[in-house]
């Protein structure tokens, strides 16, 4: 049990999954004053094809709160979610970009709107079930570290948080491996102990991205062209259905030798989708140098050329690079080894070892 001076009043974001359930359990065991909150962000009111289990998630979150012995609330953030996340998602794809709604949901909703709601209601911190660790530094600032379980680490999704948001963030499960977390949930008899991990768009549910886009973004057909010679191989219904590096679902068969095509570019002028055979010398598929913009830092910004590491997408390992700031929130990034399929609009995360320094967006 914490001494009274160390106890905090914390709002725990309960998603209805096992990770946030154990986060709440641990904080309760540590003696903090807790309230559980389910963020009601999306209810599939437009009947988009797919499974949107928000009602079940609310029931599961409420049952866990009751089992742990904490108050439970449903916080309606549907308008803010549509304005800040859904519109960002749709605008990005409509412009030929590859947005990341999960990263933006953390910055704009969980540690944005929900954090503001929490502060307005007397809470000093917001806790989530992210596999990441927050560390208080001697100067009073906070650092964000990768989760101990490298197979589950979610620090990448927190790359656009700022220092103020990080100070109010709590990540109670960052020191746990997933099997250990499941064990704790079972021992406590939590209703979500064996619940399957959710997949799909952040807080929208198990909806295929193509179905979601089909419901909201007008189709704009165009040719599928071979990048090296401009030969037309077929037609597509819209560039927003594709992303750089995509191999499946292009609609162009492999050649007689079994070589598969991969998306290597999009040309907005004539809505052309550019493809090439999937090998290292495919034009535009691999890049050693990129520019990033909209730089965001979890702590002090890096203002001088530096040797750092970066995660080019969620599931990729950290890779060494040279980071060269250019001012105005932009920078050049030179990788030690060429990186595959860096799509405009995707999120890039910067690290110094296990410490997350910040993030940016590929130009």
pLDDT of residue 201: 58
Say what the pTM is: 0.92
Q: Spell out the alpha helix ranges (H) of the chain.
A: 18-29, 54-68, 78-81, 87-94, 101-104, 114-120, 163-167, 178-187, 209-216
DSSP conformational letter for 80: H
| Whether pLDDT at 52 is above 90 | no
What mean pLDDT is reported for the chain?
Answer: 93
Q: Mean pLDDT throughout 187-195?
A: 97
Q: Mean pLDDT throughout 222-251?
A: 95
Domains of the chain: 7-129+172-210 (3.40.50.620), 218-277 (2.30.30.280), 286-362 (2.40.30.10)
Confidence band, pLDDT 50/70/90 cuts, at residue 1: very low
pLDDT digits (tens, 9 = 90+) for 67-118: 999 999 999 999 999 999 999 999 999 898 999 999 999 999 999 999 999 9
CA distances for 96 relative to 267, 273, 286, 344, angstroms: 9, 11, 19, 8
Q: 149-153, 166-170, 211-215, 276-280: lowest mean pLDDT where?
A: 211-215
Distance separating alpha carbons of residues 256 and 265, to the nearest angstrom? 23
Q: Which residues pair with 266 in a beta bridge?
A: 273
| Whether pLDDT at 3 is above 80 | no
* Residue positions counted in the chain: 363
| Whether pLDDT at 45 is above 90 | no
| Whether pLDDT at 4 is above 60 | no
pLDDT digits (tens, 9 = 90+) for 13-25: 999 999 999 999 9
Q: Mean pLDDT throughout 230-250?
A: 95
Q: 253-262, 294-303, 313-322, 347-356: lowest mean pLDDT where?
A: 253-262
SS3 content of the chain, % helix, strand, coil (to 5): 30, 30, 40
Distance separating alpha carbons of residues 18 and 64, to the nearest angstrom? 9
User: What residues are labeled active site?
Assistant: 105, 202
Confidence band, pLDDT 50/70/90 cuts, at residue 133: very high
Q: Mean pLDDT throughout 296-323?
A: 97
């Amino acid at each position: 049990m914490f001494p009274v001076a160390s106890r905090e009043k914390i709002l725990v974001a309960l998603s209805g999954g096992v990770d946030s359930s154990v986060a709440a359990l641990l904080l309760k065991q540590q003696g903090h004053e807790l309230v559980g909150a389910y963020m009601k962000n999306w209810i599939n009111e437009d009947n988009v094809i797919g499974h949107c289990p928000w009602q079940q998630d609310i029931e599961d979150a409420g049952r866990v709160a009751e089992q742990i012995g904490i108050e439970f609330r449903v916080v309606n953030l549907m308008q803010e979610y549509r304005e800040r996340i859904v519109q960002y998602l749709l605008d990005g794809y409509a412009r030929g970009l590859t947005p990341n709604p999960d990263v933006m949901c953390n910055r704009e909703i969980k540690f944005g709107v929900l954090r503001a709601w929490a502060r307005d209601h007397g809470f000093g911190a917001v806790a989530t079930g992210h596999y990441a660790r927050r560390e208080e530094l001697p100067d009073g600032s906070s650092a964000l570290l990768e989760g101990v379980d490298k197979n589950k680490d979610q620090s990448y999704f927190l790359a656009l948080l700022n220092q103020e948001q990080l100070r109010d963030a709590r990540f109670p499960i960052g020191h746990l491996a997933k099997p250990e977390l499941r064990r704790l949930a079972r021992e406590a008899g939590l209703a979500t102990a064996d619940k399957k991990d959710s997949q799909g768009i952040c807080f929208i549910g198990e909806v295929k991205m193509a179905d979601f886009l089909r419901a909201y973004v007008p189709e704009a057909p165009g040719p599928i062209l071979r990048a090296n010679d401009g030969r037309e191989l077929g037609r597509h219904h819209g560039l927003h259905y594709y992303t750089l590096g995509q191999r499946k679902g292009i609609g162009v068969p492999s050649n007689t030798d079994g070589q598969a095509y991969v998306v290597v570019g999009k040309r907005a002028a004539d809505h052309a989708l550019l493809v090439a055979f999937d090998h290292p010398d495919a034009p535009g598929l691999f890049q050693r140098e990129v520019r990033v913009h909209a730089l965001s830092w979890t702590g002090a910004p890096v203002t001088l050329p530096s040797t750092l590491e970066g995660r080019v997408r969620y599931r990729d390992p950290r890779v060494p690079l040279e980071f060269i700031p250019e001012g105005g929130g932009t920078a050049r990034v030179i990788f030690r080894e060429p990186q595959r399929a860096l799509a405009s609009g995707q999120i890039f995360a910067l690290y110094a070892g296990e410490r997350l320094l910040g993030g940016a967006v590929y130009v």
